[in-house]
A and B are shown apart, each in its own frame.
Chain A
Amino acid sequence: MPALTTNAVGSYPKPEYLAQARTQFSQGKIDRAELDKLERKATEYWIRSQEQIGLDVLVHGEMERGDMVAYFAGEPGGNPIGGMKLGGLVRSYGNRYYHKPIIVDRLTWPGPMTVEMWRYAQSLTDRPVKGMLTGAYTMVEWSFDDYYPSRREAVLDMAPIIRREVEELVKAGAKYIQIDEPAIHTRPNEDFDLAVEAMYLTVDGIDAEFHTHICYGEVEKIYPDMLRLPVKQIHLAFMNTDFEYLELMQQTPFDSGKDLGVGVTDIHTRFIEDVEIVKDGIRRTLKLFPPERLWIYPDCGLKTRTTDEAEAKLQVMVDAVRDIKRELEIE
């Protein structure tokens, strides 16, 4: 991939027609084929949009997923992991609620969960589309557990399931696979070794380029420990914290064998960052990293923004990268 490869973290906003169709599907008013058609239509929109904006590597946009854990645990339309189901409503924040997954039995792989949609998205474009999965630690940490005696046992049973899905994606042709672990810093002292072990069990020996995305929370508590994760690239939300992670990396250098994914636009804000601010963030990062070791992203998934906001945030990122490349005289 070129220096300063542009990419996105995972999710995009769903169009209104799809949001409605998901509700109708869960009420039994439309069938799977109809929902499928609309998911594909929305996915195609985002593939074209990313191409037009000019991203180098694409994501499929997660039109078929509501939540990154619940999708694998019984969201309508998904193929849930055996032993998981959706529980009752739990509040996330403000007036937002979600059906929190519950582990109710021994975990088993239910057959491919994400391959068909990946294959469809990749069929639409010549640019690489990433395979997107949620890591074993986050899958367990963000679920209730009525079955396993300990979190460790649940995580160690979850990892082979995610690995199996990775293998299927690779078989289908995915070259880049992102395994999100946003919960990885939940208990840095108690559980970090477990999270690293789970990542090994998930990716070790498989021929693909693995990325992980870690967002918000106390990233400083797992740095430099996070460098033990057996992935080629770690992506962090830099913009939300005004690039203060760079100080950590100044004190303890980032692993020279890994690439860094840099979030350069804040996904929690509605306003669009000025291109100069985005460029400034990239320049600051370039003081510590050569351009060929950086990939440029938004901070996190963009699903909570409007379509216009999401596209504008991607555009400002791509524009900033283009300017910086010109400055550096790299093609």
Chain B
Amino acid sequence: MQTTVVGNYPKVPNRPRPARLRQAINRRDRGEITSEELTRIEDEVTVEVIGEQVDAGLDIVTDGQVRWDDDQTYVMRRLGGVEIGSLERYLDTNTYYRRPEVTGPVSWREPILVRDYRFAAENSAKPIKAIITGPYTLAALSLDKHYGSREKLALALAEELRNEVQALAEAGAPIIQVNDPVIVFQKEDIEIFSRALRRMLNGVQMETAVYTWFGSAAGILPALLDLPVHTIGIDFVSGRDNWEAIKSVHFDKKLGAGIVDGRNTRIESIEQIAESVRRLSESVSPADIYVNPSCGLEYLPRETAFEKLKRMVEGARKAQPVAA
């Protein structure tokens, strides 16, 4: 059993610690520092949040997605055929993202995430998994002015982002995780979702994962288990009926078990976490469980996120039989 995160980590800490990234972006926007200087601050903050994840005791960490404005635009704005449009509510949260607008054929022009991965890997005491937003979610949360159907856009994105996945593989990323949450809100599109994901991951050799959040995977779990990925990430906090759903299938992949609430500050007890892990162990072999929060941690204040991760690690340890 290993512990990890789903993706992003809060970018700024609270007082008395300085909100350096926030200040640096403001200063860049006012022309007081250059983009290169901002990159240096982003690098420093990345090192800092990797350090916090390692300190919390996680086995596998991410770069915290410190440079990402949101899950969509960071990937989409670097593709050809895409402009960044209006501010929209992100799913059922009180946070917002800029909606990408697809105005022509999407095209991959250059590596988007490789530099970030390399930098993180060089500065982490633990393995870094590379995160990329999935083609279905990108298609669903974009405004399509070109393809005329979500299916065509999702498949085109998958085809292009395959280059990115390969570039990450060549850079040595041990795990590539596709965050593709919107499918749990649009289960009728599971066919499109699956085709797009297969296309994007076609030929990839390293460990792969697909993560969902904010909802129930009941009904689409068999289709998810059919995908050519190693790990399926499921949110057991927002999607209460996922507890039942996983009992009703033969779960023959690794489970990304989102059991710590990434959206509320209430701290779970170590015993609660351990109990959740034990319950899941009835359906999935403990060795095949990744224990993680229910979603990215940016919905929480930084200190709460850290506290939750520490508890999560302790709870996961407590749930495991004492090692020989």
Contacts and interface: CB of A to CB of B under 8 A. Distances in A.
A93 B264 contact: no
Given A146-B265, A216-B88, A268-B87, A90 B301 contact: yes
A91 B95 contact: yes
Interface string A22-34: 0000000000000
Nearest to B25: A95
A92 B89 CA distance: 10
Contacts of B89: 216-217
Contact of A87 (B86, B87, B265, B298): B265
B110 interface: no
Contacts of B12: 89, 91, 97
A303 B299 CA distance: 23
Contacts of A141: 94
B304 A88 contact: yes
B95 A92 contact: yes
Contacts of B95: 90-93
B96 A93 contact: yes
Given A144-B265, A145-B264, A268-B87, A95 B26 contact: yes
Contacts of B278: none
Contacts of A95: 22, 25-26, 29
B14 interface: yes
B152 to A, nearest CB: 23
A247 to B, nearest CB: 18
A129 interface: no
A268 B86 contact: yes
A89 B69 contact: no
Interface string A191-229: 000000000000000000000000011000000000000
A219 to B, nearest CB: 11
B70 A93 contact: yes
A150 to B, nearest CB: 12
Nearest to A98: B94
Interface of A: 87-95, 97, 100, 102, 141-142, 144-146, 183, 186-187, 216-217, 240, 268
10 contacts: A89-B14, A90-B298, A91-B95, A92-B95, A92-B96, A93-B69, A97-B22, A141-B94, A142-B94, A144-B264
